[in-house]
Structures are given as structure tokens and as C-alpha cells.
Amino acid sequence: MLGFNSVKIFPEGSRTVSRLSASHAHRGSRARQSVEKPSVPEKPFFCSPMAMPMDFKTYVDQACKAAEEFVNIYYETMDKRRRALTRLYLDKATLIWNGNVVTGLEALANFFDTLPSSEFQVNMLDCQPVHEQATQAQTTVLVVTSGTVKFDGNRQHYFNQSFLLTAQSTPNNTVWKIASDCFRFQDWASS
């Protein structure tokens, strides 16, 4: 397991992470100084036992654990195995990329194929469970990341990305999929 320093749980149930070293992995409000890059899994999606009744703190902890695992997998896959990236999305997922809307797995695959190779550096992660009243009782986690990205042939940009992840239950575990993804450059207007 990765070594982390302090953890802060905010009243709203969110955690914020500030990273001190170069890696994709994060957890809650935890900062770290040295980590190993995760290996890309055979199946680029992840499982969590979050869909059971529990107290709020445990619920937030499990949401943040799922978010950390998701961030590890997502950016590693984006940088090194992009053709597998659509396996992280629901069939009717929507991506908004710098204002451009892309919906559905086929359109997402075509869009990702047009992007140059990338090097993402995630510097911050915030995660929190979304209240069931807002999602018609669908277990959902909001994940927000920011950092830098350099696409081949372009200068480095700061980025911000928000994901809504939904739990897809199977008899043995819960698989998280992206329902909504919103990406934007923080410095796009100055390009």
C-alpha cells in the first residue's frame, strides 16, 4: 500500500488530496512524498464493496478508496493503453472535452483515437459520495482531479477533470463505471 501523511474529512464528506510527488495515485486528503506508479490492470475497471449499508464516515472512506483506485487506473490507461479506456465508461456515458460533447462508447473510442499521446500528472484529487436523492438511489461518487498534461507535439497545460462514477453491482462485487466526464484545460484561453 502507498504511504500517506495526514487525512482531513470535511463535514460535507469530501476529501481533498494534494500530491507532492509525480504519480497518478491518490487517496482522500492525503499527501505523499514518494510512490510507485501502478501497473495497468488486465481489465481497466475496478471493484469495491461499497454498496452495503454503513455509517457515513465508512461510506466516505470507501468512496475515496474507489476514487483513488479509479484515478490510478484511468490516467495510467489514458497514457499507456488508451484503446482500453472506453471499458471504464457506461454505454451511454457523456464526455465534455473543453466544451465539445461526446456521447456513447463508439463516439468516445473515435474521440480518444484522435488525441495525441499524453503524459498526465495528477496533483489533486477530491472525492465524495453523491446523495442518493440526487441519483435516484444509484450509488454514485463525484471525483474531481486537477494537474498537468502534455500531449505529444503541444505544450504542457493545466487541466481540471470531473467524473461521476456509478456502481454497477454484480453478485460478487461492485464495478464502477463513468457516467459523466468533464475535462477542460485551465489555461486554454491563453494558448
| Model confidence pLDDT, tens digit, residues 69-120 | 999 999 999 999 999 999 999 999 999 999 999 999 999 999 999 999 999 9
Instruction: Tell which wins on pLDDT, 54 or 38.
Output: 54
Instruction: Tell which wins on pLDDT, 148 or 131.
Output: 148
In one-letter notation, the amino acid at residue 144 is V
Q: What percent of the chain has pLDDT over 70?
A: 70
Q: Please give the model's pTM, rounded to 2 decimal places.
A: 0.71
Structural domain spans, the chain? 15-190
pLDDT at residue number 54:
65
End-to-end Cα spacing for the chain: 39
* Distance in angstroms (rounded) separating the CA atoms of residues 31 and 37: 15
pLDDT at residue number 120:
98
Would you call 75 helix, strand, or coil by DSSP?
Answer: helix
Residues 6+ apart with CB under 8 A from 142: 126, 127, 128, 129, 130, 162, 163, 164, 165
Topology, domain 15-190: Nuclear Transport Factor 2; Chain: A, (3.10.450)
How is residue 166 written as a grid cell?
456509478
Residue from 37, 39, 44 nearest 178 by CA: 44
pLDDT at residue number 14:
40
The mean-pLDDT minimum among 41-45, 123-127, 128-132 falls in 41-45
Residue 6 predicted with pLDDT over 90: no
Mean pLDDT, rounded, for 50-70: 78
The mean-pLDDT minimum among 27-41, 52-66, 98-112 falls in 27-41
Report the alpha-carbon angle 89-113-83, nearest 5: 50
Residue 20 predicted with pLDDT over 50: no
Contact present, 76 and 38 (Cβ < 8 Å): yes
- DSSP label at residue 37: P
Residue from 100, 119, 122, 120 nearest 111 by CA: 100
